[in-house]
């Protein structure tokens, strides 16, 4: 916290008449996200390397899990990319080089960076096996691995991973029934310290499969996915026993599935995915189910104007149990539109929605939001859009929770090639201002390199520092207490009293608020400049200037106006100073 004072005046001096009415200069409504760093994942081979999942520590380090390829197969690579720079502090490769292992999802302990990766491992028998492993966050060593094979020639693979409230992990996926080759749901809880199994639940129903998993503070686990052609959700207790399950068959009796699930603070849960509507097309769909079981509380379908292929990929909830679901709508026969909606948790009604179309002409465009996260008071949704040249770009759109659009962050890599973000596992956040994305960027034809980019959503003063000093940090010439241009005004005062568009080199001390004797009072007033946020203004008075003698003076103004006034009384000397605090 920086606390700076300005302008000492005594009633024994002669003051000019009048006060400064305003120093306001219009500023931006939102500070644009700042790119902290961008790091490629490229082995140098003439094959594609792809980022598959990212997570973030409290300090802003990014843990990235990728599939790195060679001419004979693929391995899994996990890296820790420090928030301060992005160059890997450690790298760990997992898996046999000659096979085709791949990352499914990651769960990162935000306090330690310990990383739990759910993956599918190619076996020598031409099937896929479960592979779950832990990487120690401090040094990148492999702590443990666990695998599962049920059908020796079939595909057994996890789909999703999350933490439980006791800091263990739960993984959901499927295994292949060797008798008939059908899939069936498998959910397992694993000790995060040892990798040993705590409990396992395997469905007896063929055709069940998981897409997403969540855990509530009581230890209940919800798994969303499909049961044959119907959307399916199951609630498991803390020991893996089934609390209840529900299937949903859309009115069109076609393909339905849930792709995402989250718990509400009430213990209810919400799911998002797609269902076949009465007119035969797939609709973007969100539903709420009671935590105690039973049919849905409500189901909300959104049908694009093309009546085909609408779906939701991800869902989150806020502290008021409002829901934010991201996906796509098809509004024409020539492409699709990225789509996000906020729904009232109580009723499922759409509070606001936003659609983004890149203006392309592809029949199967990439326009879609695949991931949604909350960051402070903002809603972030990430995916990609194809521009009018039919080239895909990575996109992160930001909104307030009230639905006010803030900005788009677009990554457009090598000209005439494509950049993709195609998973809900490729957007991660930390604190109230940090986020990172992972994706793929084509460098030549269809050859892709993995890419991780870390961003800061700056406070207004961080944005001001970035504009005028090239850094958001209070350091060097950008330090709050610095006066690099010798104007007599420290940087924090420049921002606080002149606003975010003020060049510190041209600030003039004569335009600062003036403290004056007006009648029997020592007073000052000013208008807080537009675009200044996160600053606290105050004033203190003293009759001696001695340490400990300063007393707070109340602000009697109505924001954005600030008014500080204190009666002179019989004091032979009285001093008033303004205080500016940057939290």
Give the pLDDT mean for 503-508.
96
The CA distance from 431 to 448, in Å, is 31
Say yes or no to pLDDT of 284 above 80.
yes
Give the pLDDT mean for 52-58.
98
Say yes or no to pLDDT of 36 above 80.
yes
Query: What value does the mean pLDDT of the chain take?
Result: 90
Cα 15–16–22 angle (5° rounding)? 115
What are the tens digits of pLDDT across the range 412-469?
Answer: 886 668 899 999 999 999 999 999 999 999 876 667 889 999 999 999 999 999 999 9
Percent of the chain with pLDDT over 90: 74
Say yes or no to pLDDT of 149 above 80.
no
Which long-range contacts link 407-415 to residues 24+ away (Cβ below 8 Å)?
Answer: 407/30, 407/32, 407/33, 408/356, 409/32, 409/33, 409/455, 411/437, 411/439, 411/441, 411/451, 411/453, 412/387, 413/441, 413/442, 413/443, 413/451, 414/441, 414/442, 414/443, 414/444
| Displacement of CA 50 from its chain's centroid (Å) | 20
What pLDDT is recorded for position 263?
A: 99
Most confident segment among 173-187, 298-312, 342-356, 365-379: 342-356
Most confident segment among 16-25, 64-73, 76-85, 389-398: 76-85
Please say whether the beta carbons of 314 and 370 come within 8 A.
yes
Q: Is the peptide bond before 560 cis (omega within 30 degrees of 0)?
A: yes
What are the tens digits of pLDDT across the range 512-535?
Answer: 999 898 888 999 999 999 989 889
What pLDDT is recorded for position 334?
A: 66
Q: What is the pTM of this model?
A: 0.90
Say yes or no to pLDDT of 159 above 50.
yes
Give the pLDDT mean for 182-198.
96
The CA distance from 79 to 65, in Å, is 7
What are the tens digits of pLDDT across the range 470-484?
Answer: 999 999 999 999 999
Of the candidates 258, 261, 240, the one whose C-alpha atom is nearest the C-alpha of residue 250 is 258
Say yes or no to pLDDT of 10 above 70.
no
What are the tens digits of pLDDT across the range 318-377?
Answer: 999 999 999 999 987 667 899 999 999 999 999 999 999 887 766 555 799 999 999 999
The radius of gyration of the chain's CA atoms, rounded to the nearest angstrom, is 28
The CA distance from 554 to 528, in Å, is 16
Of the candidates 253, 248, 260, the one whose C-alpha atom is nearest the C-alpha of residue 296 is 248
Sheet containing strand 157-163, edge to edge, reads: 157-163, 169-176, 183-190, 197-202
For residue 109, the number of C-alpha atoms closer than 13 Å in the C-beta half-sphere is 19
What pLDDT is recorded for position 363?
A: 54
Say yes or no to pLDDT of 126 above 90.
no
The CA distance from 121 to 100, in Å, is 7
Say yes or no to pLDDT of 37 above 80.
yes
What are the tens digits of pLDDT across the range 223-281?
Answer: 999 999 999 999 999 999 999 999 999 999 999 999 999 999 999 999 999 999 998 89
More confident residue, 41 or 140: 140
**Strands (E) located in 495-549:** 516-518, 521-527, 536-542
């Amino acid at each position: 916290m920086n606390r700076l004072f300005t302008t000492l005046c005594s009633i024994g001096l002669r003051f000019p008449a009048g006060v400064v009415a305003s120093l306001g200069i219009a500023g931006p409504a939102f500070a644009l996200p700042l790119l902290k760093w961008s790091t490629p994942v490229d082995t140098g081979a003439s094959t594609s390397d792809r980022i598959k999942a990212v997570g973030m520590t409290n300090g802003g380090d990014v843990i990235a899990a990728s599939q790195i390829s060679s001419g004979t197969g693929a391995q899994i690579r996990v890296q820790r990319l420090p928030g301060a720079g992005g160059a890997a502090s450690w790298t760990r490769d997992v898996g046999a080089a000659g096979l085709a292992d791949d990352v499914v999802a990651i769960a990162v302990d935000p306090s330690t960076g310990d990383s739990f990766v759910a993956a599918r491992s190619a076996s020598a028998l031409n099937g896929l096996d479960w592979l779950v492993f832990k990487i120690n966050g401090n040094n990148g060593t492999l702590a443990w691995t666990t695998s599962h094979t049920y059908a020796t020639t079939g595909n057994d693979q996890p789909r999703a991973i999350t933490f439980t409230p006791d800091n263990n992990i739960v993984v959901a996926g499927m295994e292949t029934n060797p008798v008939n080759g059908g899939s069936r749901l498998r959910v397992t809880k694993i000790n995060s310290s040892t990798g040993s199994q705590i409990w396992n639940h395997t469905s007896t129903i063929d055709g069940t499969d998981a897409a997403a998993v969540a855990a509530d503070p009581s230890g209940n686990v919800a798994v969303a996915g499909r049961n044959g052609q119907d959307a399916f959700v199951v609630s498991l207790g803390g020991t893996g026993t089934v609390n209840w399950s529900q299937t949903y068959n859309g009115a069109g009796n076609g393909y339905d599935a849930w792709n995402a699930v989250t718990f509400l603070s009430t213990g209810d849960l919400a799911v998002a995915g797609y269902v076949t509507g009465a007119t035969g097309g797939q609709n973007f769909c969100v539903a709420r189910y009671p935590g105690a079981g039973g049919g849905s509380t409500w189901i909300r379908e959104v049908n694009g104007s093309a009546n085909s292929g609408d779906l939701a990929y991800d869902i989150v909830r806020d502290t008021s149990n409002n829901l934010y679901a991201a996906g796509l709508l098809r509004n024409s026969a020539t492409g699709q539109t990225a789509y996000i909606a906020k729904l009232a948790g109580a009723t499922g009604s759409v509070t606001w929605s936003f659609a983004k179309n890149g203006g392309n002409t592809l029949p199967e465009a990439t326009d879609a939001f695949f991931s949604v996260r909350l960051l402070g008071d903002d809603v972030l949704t990430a995916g990609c859009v194809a521009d009018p040249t039919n080239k895909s770009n990575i996109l992160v759109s930001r909104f307030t929770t009230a639905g006010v659009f803030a900005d788009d962050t677009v990554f457009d890599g090598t000209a005439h090639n494509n950049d993709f973000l195609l998973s809900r596992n490729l957007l991660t956040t930390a604190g109230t201002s940090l986020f990172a994305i992972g994706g793929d960027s084509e460098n030549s034809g269809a050859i892709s390199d993995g890419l991780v980019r870390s961003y800061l959503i700056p406070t207004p003063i961080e944005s001001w520092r970035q504009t005028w000093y090239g850094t958001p940090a209070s350091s060097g010439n950008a330090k709050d207490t610095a006066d690099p241009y010798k104007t007599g005004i420290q940087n924090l005062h420049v921002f606080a009293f002149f606003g975010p568009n003020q060049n510190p080199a041209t600030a003039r001390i004569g335009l600062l608020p003036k403290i004056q004797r007006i009648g029997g009072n020592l007073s000052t007033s000013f208008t807080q400049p537009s675009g200044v946020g996160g600053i606290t203004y105050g004033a203190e008075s003293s009759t001696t200037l001695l340490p400990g003698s300063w007393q707070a003076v109340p602000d009697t103004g109505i924001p954005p106006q600030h008014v500080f006034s204190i009666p002179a009384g019989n004091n032979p000397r009285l001093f008033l100073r303004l205080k500016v605090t940057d939290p």
